[in-house]
Structure 1
């Protein structure tokens, strides 16, 4: 038997959207997607959107800054991967660029150096140049920039 969708009043939906935004910072696209579940008329959607923004439950800049911090400091993603994922969420380039200052350059280089060391040291049975190219590919897949990776490589070679 197909399950019936429970219908909610406008105020209940509005409260559900507030709770959704309070639980964790959201971008407009995520809120838009969530509202599709409720089959609202466009005017009701607009009213809820305006309310969420006016009451500061929905703030694209706060979301972007929080997302950048989380993905870098917790998941250790590089700037390229973070930028690409934010673009997929519909965040504009200017906001992304202005928010990248959430990642301190010193932390970025330290994290990259640590990731380099950890990955490079796990490569067994390969020649040094193979380890190096495999490590570069790994770091690029995590979103780090090629020139920054090379800089770290050169610094590591000097210290070795």
Structure 2
């Protein structure tokens, strides 16, 4: 998106960012990046971010929790991938820890089981070692912990 021709007042930018945050939870980084893209000066960015925090449009803990829940439930990501993605969004270690508590352990392990079985049924490789490697690569890429992946391989293949 190219906003070169448009200049925003602090009020206009604040309104635009309120809508942006109301549509879906955002990280502080996404909000500041958006404001920089709108060519707002650092003082205006600080003021707008402060207002968004005060008015509860921006809440890092809420963002981290909904991000973790969403990526786990929809994309079936493991905790390692979720943590990596939250760190990329500059979420604090404290909020990452809280976010991971949104994922219940029994459901987490059941999801791994379902995902592994589904993927295994799609792998057409006949060589056992290559089957194992393909399944392991798939699960590790999605951010599942290696010890869980290797236990699952032993169980299934």
- Structure 1 residue 137 displacement after superposition: 1.3
Q: Give the aligned partner of residue 6 of structure 1.
A: 6
Q: Give the aligned partner of residue 68 of structure 1.
A: 68
CA contact (8 A) 1:25 1:63 kept: yes
Instruction: List runs of 5+ in structure 1 lacking aligned partners.
Output: none
TM-score, scaled relative to structure 2: 0.91
| Aligned counterparts of 1:97 and 1:112: Cα–Cα separation in 2 | 20
Instruction: List runs of 5+ in structure 2 lacking aligned partners.
Output: none
RMSD: 1.7
For the residue of structure 1 that corresponds to 2:25, the secondary structure is coil
CA contact (8 A) 1:78 1:144 kept: yes
TM-score, scaled relative to structure 1: 0.89
Paired positions, count: 155
- Structure 1 residue 24 displacement after superposition: 0.6
2:152 corresponds to 1:115: no
For the residue of structure 2 that corresponds to 1:102, the secondary structure is coil
Q: Once structures 1 and 2 are overlaid, which stretch shifts more, 58-67 or 94-103?
A: 94-103
- Inter-CA distance 4–76: structure 2 relative to 1 (3 Å threshold): closer
Q: Give the aligned partner of residue 15 of structure 1.
A: 15
For the residue of structure 1 that corresponds to 2:20, the secondary structure is helix
Structure possessing the higher radius of gyration over alpha carbons: 1
CA contact (8 A) 1:79 1:145 kept: yes
Alignment of 1:100-111 (within 5 A): 100-111=100-111
